[in-house]
Amino acid sequence: MPSRSGWLMTFVGFTLLSGPTLAQGFDPGSATGAAGEPMFSVTPSIGYLRSVSTENVYDPLSRSKISQLDWKSEAMTLGGRAALRPFDGVVLRGSLWAAVASEADMRDRDWLFGYRGDDSWSHQSLHPDTRVPKAWQADVSVAYRVIDGGDFAISALAGFRHYDIKYRAYGGSYVYSQNGFRDAVGNFDPSRLGISYRQQWDTPYLGLGTTYRGETLSLSAELYGSPASFGRDRDYHALRYTLFTEKFSPSAMIGANLAVEYPLTTAFSLVGRVDYTKYFEAKGGTRIYDAASGQFARIPKPGAGADAEALNVSLGVRGKI
């Protein structure tokens, strides 16, 4: 798994090699519209992702918390963005990134004697050997310029985003309450899968964006959100051969991004970007399948909950015509 210093070296190498090579190889004039927006652009990028996913279990009657699993990961991502200006003032955008190397951990806590705060757990397991076999995000949107001040512009945004991440926790250690409070300590088989968890979010959203184009640097920022983010998850406890699946009621999402662009030539520029998204906790019921017995069971809403955060810092080279 790559270290943070390894990712930083990759960033630097990508910048030094890609920027000058592309700039020297192709340098047509740019057909820009108002506010300097090109007709078409594409931006391959490399990035660093920090993600957090939480799954909760509640007593559907008392609504007291029974269990919480905290999944955290860091990953290197590869991705890209494309933008097309079919009409002056209208820009169609699309972006995609996927994790290509990662490190992660998971903490599982249960409150079987009643929830009296996070530190009152009765059972806990730690899983530092957690992997992320899949993490990716796709986004499509349209920006409509509502204010054009020359070098400064404000746009209205509308888009749709899909976020998908999967974790697998192996081995680990535990502290359980069996004959007394936190009296049993042990370790799981380090080679055996303990829990596999997948979380997905589909979100239509609206927002506002602003752009400023200076002589040497261009800045852009966007703020967007949605009251209707649709989440679902799939939680497989391999040691118990039990599968939990949930579909959640719509919940809120907020996001923001900030980008800085530095021109290398008239056709190519270096772009640094920060993207942050938060999916607020969504509640739903649970469908349980016990593979050992072949039995199904259901826990009604609000027996389950889930939320997520993702921060992606990326560096890319933008080519435009």
Least confidently predicted of 30-44, 184-198, 262-276, 306-320: 30-44
Q: What is the mean pLDDT of the chain?
A: 90
Collect all residues with Cβ–Cβ distance below 8 Å to 134 and sequence separation of at least 6. Answer: 99, 164, 165, 166, 198
| Cα–Cα distance, 50 to 28 (Å, whole number) | 37
Collect all residues with Cβ–Cβ distance below 8 Å to 186 and sequence separation of at least 6. Answer: 173, 174, 176
Does the pLDDT value for residue 10 go beyond 60? no
CA distances from 311 to 104, 203, 274, 284, 314 (A): 15, 17, 7, 25, 10
pLDDT in tens, 47-76: 999 999 999 999 999 999 999 999 999 999
Identify which of 313, 275, 321, 318 has the alpha carbon closest to the alpha carbon of residue 10: 313
pLDDT given for residue 37 in this prediction: 77
Does the pLDDT value for residue 7 go beyond 90? no
Q: Domain spanning 4-320: which superfamily?
A: OMPT-like (2.40.128.90)
Does the pLDDT value for residue 29 go beyond 60? no
pLDDT band at residue 236 using 50, 70 and 90 as cut-offs:
very high
pLDDT given for residue 248 in this prediction: 98
More confident residue, 18 or 301: 301
Q: Tell me the domain boundaries of the chain.
A: 4-320
Region 70-90: mean pLDDT is 97
Region 135-156: mean pLDDT is 96
Does the pLDDT value for residue 252 go beyond 70? yes
Does the pLDDT value for residue 17 go beyond 50? no
Region 189-199: mean pLDDT is 97
Does the pLDDT value for residue 35 go beyond 90? no
pLDDT band at residue 36 using 50, 70 and 90 as cut-offs:
low
pLDDT in tens, 262-272: 999 999 999 99
pLDDT given for residue 197 in this prediction: 98
pLDDT in tens, 105-138: 999 999 999 999 999 999 999 999 999 999 999 9
pLDDT given for residue 117 in this prediction: 96
pLDDT band at residue 150 using 50, 70 and 90 as cut-offs:
confident
Does the pLDDT value for residue 85 go beyond 90? yes
Q: Where are the alpha helices (DSSP H) in 126-253?
A: none
